[in-house]
Structure 1
Amino acid sequence: MTQQDEERTRTAYDTVADLYADTFTATEPEQPLELAMIDHFVTSLGESPRVLDAGCGAGRLLPLLAARGCRPQGVDLSPGMVRRARADHPAYRCTVGSLTDLAFSDDEFDGVLSWYSTIHAPDADLDRVLAEMARVLRPGGHLLLAFQVGEGVRDIGPGFAAHGLRVTLDRYHRSVLEVASRLERLGMPVTARLERGPVGRETDPQAVVIARRPVG
């Protein structure tokens, strides 16, 4: 992501951090299918795996990962979101950082979970973000991506206007095939994929894709 893209995204999430954290404290928006994909992801990682929640927001998935036997930590672009993650989930380490330049060593994690965090990366920058997530995975580790399905880009900032918050926040929509193809070009074969239709107030299909970093 360009510096301008990151600054716009950071500012938006700093502005909405408290509203978001107070509205979604755990897995309120998730359907059982998505949670089942997280369970499948975790079972692929081995015993007591280290898992990076890349784009952790206010940290609401960290306790879920821990309850499934993981040793999770989070990183997020927004200091406001990390502030809430640290306050609401103090048992887990959370740091401020960019997904385009993760401040972690090569092969450091057994798993990387990206829960709707790549949706703000423009198409031109997505491969770099995915490559960084792959870099910090150990050989044999798994990456989970969740995202909205579709085409094009939307400003979802107006959705916060009803709460008195004025932000600009671009969301990029992609097909499961495109995301899977990008992962496979990076040498990350896809091991599982899910696509479902909108539920409730959702307007777009949702997807989860899991890929594996090969050994050797």
Structure 2
Amino acid sequence: MTWLADTRASYDTVADGYADLLRDALADAPHQRAALAAFADLVRAAGGGPVADVGCGPGRLTAHLHGLGLDAFGVDLSPAMVAVARRDHPRLRFDVGSMTDLDLPDGSVAGLLAWFSLIHVPDDEVPGVLAHFRRVLRPGGPLLLGFYVGDRTHLKTEGYGGHPMRVHVHHRPPERVEVWLRGAGFEVEVRTLLDPYREFPGAILFARRA
């Protein structure tokens, strides 16, 4: 798939710049930290176990979840991103992989985080990705999604230090994502908007494998 190859190549190109830019971003994001802490509580309440950070990039959120006491590991499409994650967080596990064909056993994870990592997946591919998320989650396991709100797609050609990129960024209404989640076998529990009055607002959805 061309979009997968473009996404992999783009993030391979910007991996170091991306890691440097976002390394301390959570320090100025108390609402995001609160959402991640709530997710950690939900994982523990469901019995605990391995947690997958899918689309982990340089591993900053994987490490944050580990700091919250979770057995977190990361998966990312970009080998360069995984190399940065392994360098910066050598005691944690990071694997190269695609959320379109998630190489994890059925029911093997207690929770799954996909933090602004669905934004490059075309609409017609999202239901299949969510089906993989459901497959690898244990029954009752929590899912936390972050994504951009809107109803448009734009082509990103440069980013993170001025490096060339070629990725489509999809902004979606939360209602559409909720429909996809329910269709994939999830129960949606909470929807929260981030920075609703900024140019590119975000949304957080908490769901659970039914």
Q: Deviations over 1:133-191 (max 9, x none)?
A: 1110000101110001001211122344xx34112111111011111111011120101
Letter in 1 for 2:21: T
Deviation of the 1:28 alpha carbon: 3.8
Q: Which runs of structure 1 show a deviation greater than 4 angstroms over 4 or more consecutive aligned residues?
A: none
- Aligned residues with identical type, % of pairs: 40
Q: Distance in 2 between matches of 1:135 and 1:7?
A: 24
1:35 lines up with 2:33 in the alignment: yes
Aligned residue for 1:45? 43
Query: Contact 2:120–2:169 at 8 Å: present in 1 too?
Result: yes
Greater strand proportion: 2
Q: How does 1:167-182 map to 2 (within 5 A)?
A: 167-182=165-180
Q: Distance in 2 between matches of 1:33 and 1:84?
A: 26
Q: How does 1:1-216 map to 2 (within 5 A)?
A: 3-28=1-26, 31-46=29-44, 47-160=47-160, 163-198=161-196, 203-214=199-210
CA RMSD, 1 decimal:
1.6
TM-score (norm 2): 0.93
Letter in 2 for 1:175: P
Q: Distance in 2 between matches of 1:123 and 1:93?
A: 30
Q: Deviations over 1:11-46 (max 9, x none)?
A: 000000010112222444862222211111111112
Instruction: Return 5+ residue gaps in structure 2 as ranges.
Output: none
Instruction: Return 5+ residue gaps in structure 1 as ranges.
Output: none
Q: Distance in 1 between matches of 2:62 and 2:152?
A: 30
Aligned residues: 208
Q: Distance in 1 between matches of 2:28 and 2:75?
A: 21
Q: Distance in 1 between matches of 2:164 and 2:55?
A: 22
